[in-house]
Amino acid sequence: MKESGGRKQGAASPCAACKLLRRRCAHDCVFAPYFPADEPHKFANVHKVFGASNVNKMLQELPVHQRGDAVSSMVYEANARVRDPVYGCVGAISSLQQQIDTLQTQLALAQAEVVHLRVRQTASYSHHGFAPTSPTNSGSPSSNHGSQIKPIFDMDVVMDQASLGEPMWSC
């Protein structure tokens, strides 16, 4: 039979926190439900970054239904601090935000190029006396089924912000 917290009834199997702290794991140990004996690395990093006493205080001050989320947050932050002692998870978040900004700029440039190519294609057809046959120009609003590409950014603003001047394509 197992008790909540991963400890067997009758056996004094300490949780990962009590094992690391080399103390007896009490029946009402605040760490036991969140730091099972089979995951010692989980508590090791939390202890290294926050300290066992601080983690104990934080968990004691929280309602039981919020403790699991608090432990998950502490484990995430502790692991991030071990990887990057200066910035922790803020460094990871900043890196991801930079990637998002770069990808949004690339998407806006690609959308601008698609619009530019469609304008060139339409101008080419008109110049040679042909009518375009794409579904977006068929005349019937129900026939395009939303396939028309609409830029999600104001391209003048994106081009100014990117300081690119001329577009990457040529006519």
Query: What is the reported pLDDT for 130?
Result: 58
User: How would you class 144 by CB atoms within 10 Å of its CB: exposed for 0-12, middle for 13-18, buried for 19 or more?
Assistant: middle
Tell me the whole-structure pTM to 2 decimals: 0.54
Q: How many domains does the chain have?
A: 2
Q: Are residues 116 and 149 in the same domain?
A: yes
Judge whether residue 171 has pLDDT over 50.
no
- Segment 37-70, tens digit of pLDDT: 989 999 999 999 999 999 999 999 999 999 999 9
Query: What is the reported pLDDT for 165?
Result: 44
Q: Is 41 among the domain residues?
A: yes
- Segment 92-144, tens digit of pLDDT: 899 999 999 999 999 999 999 999 999 888 877 776 665 555 555 444 444 44
Judge whether residue 19 has pLDDT over 60.
yes
Q: Are residues 79 and 21 in the same domain?
A: yes
The residue count of the chain comes to 171
Full residue range of the structural domain in which residue 23 is found: 16-83
Q: Which residues contact 163 (CB under 8 A, 6 or more apart)?
A: none
Best CA proximity match to 113, nearest among 102, 121, 123: 121
In this structure, what are the phi and psi dihedrals at residue 113, rounded to the nearest 5 degrees? -65, -40
Q: How far apart are alpha carbons 67 and 92 in whole angstroms?
A: 24
